[in-house]
Chain A
């Protein structure tokens, strides 16, 4: 089992004893972003202090070195996801990755009355690009109903999918409820109907072993900063044949083979075709360090540890008698709750006053709120450096949640 105290030695945010509201920081907003270990900071720093150069832009050693490192990153991510390095496209994050699929593939191939299937639990990043595709092509958006617990089931996909369905786009782990979707089976059903299966992996890739070949997904998007990497870097995995058919979302330098004054243009092959302009090189190198760091700890270990934390958190919060939990049964390390008779944002402010960082509100999943029947919730989310003591601090605050105005008067 993971020893979070040992792991914290790698993280300056812990070593520096960062305080919030003059209290030791209790970081429970990992679904939003994560802390960075030394190896990631070193990779980013070294790029600027020892290795600065652009990529594929020069004939000298520094440039060659960076090209090699970017290639190595693609290979490492290939190992991380079990795909070919040519299927790894660097983007600015999950949002950019999903937009690339929506605009580069969706807008190109979808037609009037085709169907795009989503769920009510999706993050805005996996809803709004598809709304745009619908607006531009006349394709229709349909929602696969969630079951009574908020789970996406294969049965409900079967009930919703039709011959007109061209895209099924869902989160592998939803960011509010934290259920793990049965992606392998969902992909199978989607393919039976000749549609493509797009996975929003923002909340899953950092927390569980992903094998895109085994899942059978066509595209998968994730962000670096949610898995201990830098912000502003992410990945789109796509099956190579699909990437070949996908239009570049952006054009410019670094992605064309040649162009002339008559407007004849030849683009590079994927993945370079999608990487116009100078890339976020520090981000790519930092992401490589983060992915290697996670693989060394082991994604299965991370997953087991977070599952244990989730159970512990539900138990402790239930014990307070003061929490309404909306996702006690879900697998991921996310607890979505409210403090009885306290508005979510007031509760989150109170948690802040006790040094505890949690999210409140609708968590960018605005259409889920009608499903939950509440205006807003508080979300605590864990990672492999979260301790039981962090959860105890949360439970103790929830127990005293009715005194939320202490935040202003103590």
Chain B
């Protein structure tokens, strides 16, 4: 299995369950000042949440999400936040692009994905592909907005 870090399926399951049960970045920012936000939801799943982005000088300084989500969308969005905080816009966009390629079963650069690699097999459950990507495409949109605003 092409992974950036050696992960067994058991470890991958644990990572998903851990981010689902104890998300690090879930919650509305206490002060919305400086945050861009976007709403995302799904017709096929209960998922219905906001994604928040804070940026300074072309750098992602904070990322959060809040709302209702299934295991796959919760964990994938939480890992997304982990992965983009501290990254330059262009790097964050690159990471997101690689992740989306992976989910869509196209060639991708696994070296930048870190824990996000655990969603490698989402394609096995086609109905959940949207769940695994909605937080990521929402963030992609926020980054584009932020870049345009500059």
**A: which residues have CB within 8 A of B?**
21, 343-346, 349, 352-353, 361-362, 375-376, 404-405, 407-409
The residue in chain B whose Cβ has the minimal distance to the Cβ of A346 is B71
A200 to B137, CA, bound (A): 40
Complex Cα–Cα for A179 and B128 (A): 31
Q: Is B125 an interface residue (CB 8 A)?
A: yes
**A409 and B125 contacting across the interface, CB-CB below 8 Å:** no
Q: How far is the CA of A343 from the CA of B131 in the complex (A)?
A: 13
A residues in contact with B22, CB < 8 Å = none
Q: Check B70 against A345 for contact (C-beta < 8 Å).
A: yes
CB neighbours of A404 from chain B (8 A): 71
| Stretch binding the partner chain, chosen from B8-16, B29-37, B53-61, B141-149 | B8-16
Across the A-B interface, the 5 shortest Cβ-Cβ residue pairs: A408-B121, A345-B70, A409-B9, A346-B71, A405-B13
In contact, A343 and B17 (Cβ under 8 angstroms):
no
Known contacts A344-B46, A349-B127, A352-B127: does B70 contact A409 (CB below 8 Å)? no
Q: How far is the CA of A172 from the CA of B127 in the complex (A)?
A: 31
How far is the CB of A20 from the nearest CB of chain B, in Å? 11
Residues on B with C-beta less than 8 A from A376 are 46
Chain A residues positioned under 8 Å from B9 (CB to CB): 409
User: CB of B45 within 8 A of chain A?
Assistant: yes
Q: B73 CB to closest chain A CB, in angstroms?
A: 9
Question: How many Å lie between the Cα of A32 and that of B68 in the bound state?
Answer: 25
B150 at the interface (CB under 8 A from A): no
A sample of 13 inter-chain contacts (CB < 8 A) reads A21-B124, A343-B71, A345-B45, A345-B128, A346-B71, A349-B127, A352-B125, A362-B46, A404-B71, A407-B124, A407-B125, A409-B13, A409-B121
With both chains docked as a complex, state the minimum distance between the C-beta of B105 and any C-beta of chain A, in angstroms: 13
How near does chain B come to A74, taking the closest CB pair, in angstroms? Answer: 36
Q: How far is the CA of A376 from the CA of B71 in the complex (A)?
A: 13
In addition to A346-B70, A349-B128, A405-B71, 17 A-B residue pairs with Cβ atoms within 8 Å of each other are A343-B46, A344-B46, A345-B45, A345-B70, A346-B72, A349-B72, A349-B125, A349-B127, A352-B125, A353-B124, A353-B125, A375-B46, A405-B13, A407-B124, A408-B122, A408-B125, A409-B121
B14's nearest neighbour on chain A, judged by CB, is A405
Query: Which residues of B have CB within 8 Å of A343?
Result: 46, 70-71
Bound complex: CA of A376 vs CA of B131, how far in Å?
A: 16
Q: B125 to chain A: which residues have CB within 8 Å? A: 349, 352-353, 407-408
**Chain A hits for B16, CB < 8 A:** 405
> Which residues from chain B contact A344 at a C-beta distance below 8 Å?
46
Contacts of A349 in B (CB 8 A): 72, 125, 127-128
Distance (Å) between the CB of A179 and the closest chain B CB? Answer: 24
Closest to B124 in A: A408
Chain B residues positioned under 8 Å from A21 (CB to CB): 124
Taking the closest CB of chain B, its distance from the CB of A408, in whole angstroms, is 4
Q: Write the nearest CB–CB distance from B130 to chain A, whole angstroms.
A: 11
| CB <8 Å contact, A361 and B124 | no
Q: Bound complex: CA of A362 vs CA of B68, how far in Å?
A: 14
Q: Which residues of A contact B121 (CB under 8 A)?
A: 408-409
Of all chain B residues, the one with the shortest Cβ separation from A345 is B70
Cβ–Cβ < 8 Å partners of A409 in chain B:
9, 12-13, 121
* List of A residues within 8 angstroms of B122 by Cβ: 408
A1 to chain B, nearest CB (A): 35
Question: Considering the chains assembled together, what is the distance between the CA atoms of A310 and B128 in angstroms?
Answer: 29
Q: Which of A346, A375, A404, A405 has the most CB atoms of chain B within a 10 A radius of its CB?
A: A405
Nearest residue (CB) in A for B74 is A343
Contacts of B13 in A (CB 8 A): 405, 409
The answer to whether A345 and B46 touch across the interface, beta carbons within 8 angstroms, is yes
CB distance from B135 to the nearest CB of A (A): 15
With A344-B46, A361-B45: A375-B127 Cβ-Cβ less than 8 Å = no
A361 and B46 contacting across the interface, CB-CB below 8 Å? yes
Residue of B nearest to A353 (CB): B125
Cβ contacts under 8 Å, A405 to chain B = 13, 16-17, 71
Per-residue CB contact flags for chain B residues 17-58 toward chain A (1 = under 8 Å, else 0) read: 100000000000000000000000000011000000000000
In whole angstroms, what is the CA distance A405 to B127 when docked? Answer: 14
Q: How far is the CA of A407 from the CA of B16 in the complex (A)?
A: 13
Most B CB contacts (10 A, CB to CB) among A346, A352, A404, A407 go to A346
A406 (CB) vs chain B CBs: closest residue: B13
Complex Cα–Cα for A18 and B19 (A)? 36
Report B68-84 residues with CB < 8 Å from chain A CB: 68, 70-72
Expressed in whole angstroms, the Cα–Cα distance for A21 and B13 within the complex equals 20
- By CB atoms of chain A within 10 A, which of B70, B72, B122, B124 has the most? B70
Q: Which residue of B lies closest to A362 (CB)?
A: B46
Q: Inside 8 A of B46's CB, which chain A residues have their CB?
A: 343-345, 361-362, 375-376
Smallest CB–CB gap between B20 and chain A, Å?
9
Report how far A345 CA is from B72 CA in the complex, Å: 10
Task: Looking at the assembled complex, report how far the CB atom of A304 sits from the nearest CB atom of chain B, in whole angstroms.
Answer: 34
Q: CA separation between A125 and B41, bound complex, in Å?
A: 22
Min CB–CB distance A341 → chain B (angstroms):
10
> In the complex, A343 Cα to B12 Cα: how many Å?
19
